[in-house]
Amino acid sequence: MSEERLPFLSHLEELRKRLIRCFIVVGVLFFALYPLSSTIFEWLTSPLRQVLPEGQTLIFTGIVEGFLTHFKVGFYTAFLIAIPYLLFEIWRFVVPGLYDQEKKYAILFVGSTLILFTTGALFGFFVILPVVLPFFINDFSSEWIRPLPSIQQYLSFTILMMLASGLSFELPVFLVLLNKVGVISRETLVKKRGYAIIIIAIVAAIITPPDVISMMCIMIPMILLYELSVLIMRFLR
């Protein structure tokens, strides 16, 4: 081991200090960014504003809904910006108990997880949202039925879509981990590629509007990530 293991109580004290530092960083960022929450939320609503009928706007129906929505926007933004520092604190906490080989894999795991999730979340916002919003807004409205989305509903929907997209982009990490622990082999993934594509197509068809473009927006990246997983396993042998 690179460093001698600390007693259990010392570990708890170390964890407490690092958690306090993490809360302080997120709190400072939140108070610094909260005045910008209106601008950030306006940017987040840009995909919806391109879809809503002329004259339609977002609304809020609860007395504190506007405040809570801006509070969440400020907190989510602060948390996202603080993620590199939070990961650094986690790394400094666990590194004394890792072997050199484990450190190398941990760095690769954390780095790839962060990059893939960020890429997936941005993909969800810039690609998936502009595709699915017209379906939900236009296809179910009429002369007698008009959409009146609230700001809190839209924020929750947007965060959910970005989270789901970000997690789906973690497919290579998930498959490579299963490969490293011996649950699944690269040869199995290659042999069952056809079944995997069918499953991906079914999932994409379920979670997207009933049109080919929306389905392909999900299906193509997932297939590429599947192939990336197979390629990574080849070099990690």
Q: What is the pLDDT of residues 23-59, one digit of tens each?
A: 999 999 999 999 999 999 999 999 999 998 888 889 9
Whether the model clears a pTM of 0.95, i.e. scores above it, the answer is no
Is residue 179 a contact partner of residue 185, using CB atoms and an 8 Å limit? yes
Residue 110 has pLDDT above 80, yes or no: yes
Instruction: Count CA within 13 A, CB hemisphere, residue 1.
Output: 9
Other CB atoms closer than 10 Å to residue 104's CB: what's the count?
A: 11
Is residue 136 a contact partner of residue 176, using CB atoms and an 8 Å limit? no
Structural Rg of the chain based on CA atoms: 22
Specify the residue for token string 């199995």: 188
Is residue 23 a contact partner of residue 85, using CB atoms and an 8 Å limit? no
Residue 210 has pLDDT above 90, yes or no: no
Provide the token pair at 235. 């070099």
